[in-house]
Structure 1
Amino acid sequence: MSLPKPVMRGLLAKRLRFHLPIAFSLAIVAAVAFKFGVTEPRKKAYADFYKNYDSVKEFNAMREAGIFESVRPSVK
């Protein structure tokens, strides 16, 4: 009694027909999850931050703290 030979002809095409749609669907799911799980909250956080951001006030606070070497603190 001998073992039958494995069927090798068309094996790659057969496995690709099965795995390719799964790979594409998982990639699409991962992209959608990243978009709504990471990028959308990040865009909302940036919008909320810059809604009330005062750059002049921030600059004056950094200048008073002595962060900038080329800008002297104002004397009040």
Structure 2
Amino acid sequence: MSSSVLPKPQMRGLLARRLGIHIVGAFIVALGVAASCKFGVADRRKKAYADFYRNYDFMKDFEEMRKAGIFQSAK
């Protein structure tokens, strides 16, 4: 029978090494999520608001609401 010696597991510095890897991974994931939120949600929303208010006639909207009786003080 040959006895083979098992290598000792690395215990010293294990947490620090794993933590460094996970911090870098978390930073990369956070940057990806922030970029996708900015380009996927915020920029589309800004464009939709700009498109809406480009052709929005607030006086026409006010007159329609006034005729519908929404405003009590404006007759």
User: Which TM bucket (shorter chain)?
Assistant: 0.7 to 0.9
Greater shift after overlay, 53-62 or 9-18? Answer: 9-18
**Length-normalised TM-score, structure 1:** 0.80
Following superposition, the deviation at residue 11 of structure 1 comes to 2.6
Give the fraction of aligned pairs with identical amino acids, expressed as a percent. Answer: 59
2:45 to 42, 46, 67: 42
Which residue of structure 2 aligns with residue 55 of structure 1? Answer: 58
List gaps (5 residues or longer) in structure 1. none
Structure-2 separation of matches of 1:12 and 1:65: 68
Structure-2 separation of matches of 1:25 and 1:33: 12
Cα deviation code 1:18-42 (max 9, x no counterpart): 1011000000000000011100110
Matched, 1:12 2:15: yes
Structure-2 separation of matches of 1:11 and 1:60: 71
CA RMSD of aligned residues (A): 1.6
Q: Which amino acid aligns with 1:31?
A: A
Q: Which amino acid aligns with 2:44?
A: P
**Length-normalised TM-score, structure 2:** 0.81
1:66 to 66, 69, 74: 69
List gaps (5 residues or longer) in structure 2. 1-7
Structure-1 separation of matches of 2:11 and 2:70: 70
Q: Which amino acid aligns with 1:53?
A: Y
Q: Which amino acid aligns with 1:28?
A: L
Q: Which amino acid aligns with 1:52?
A: N
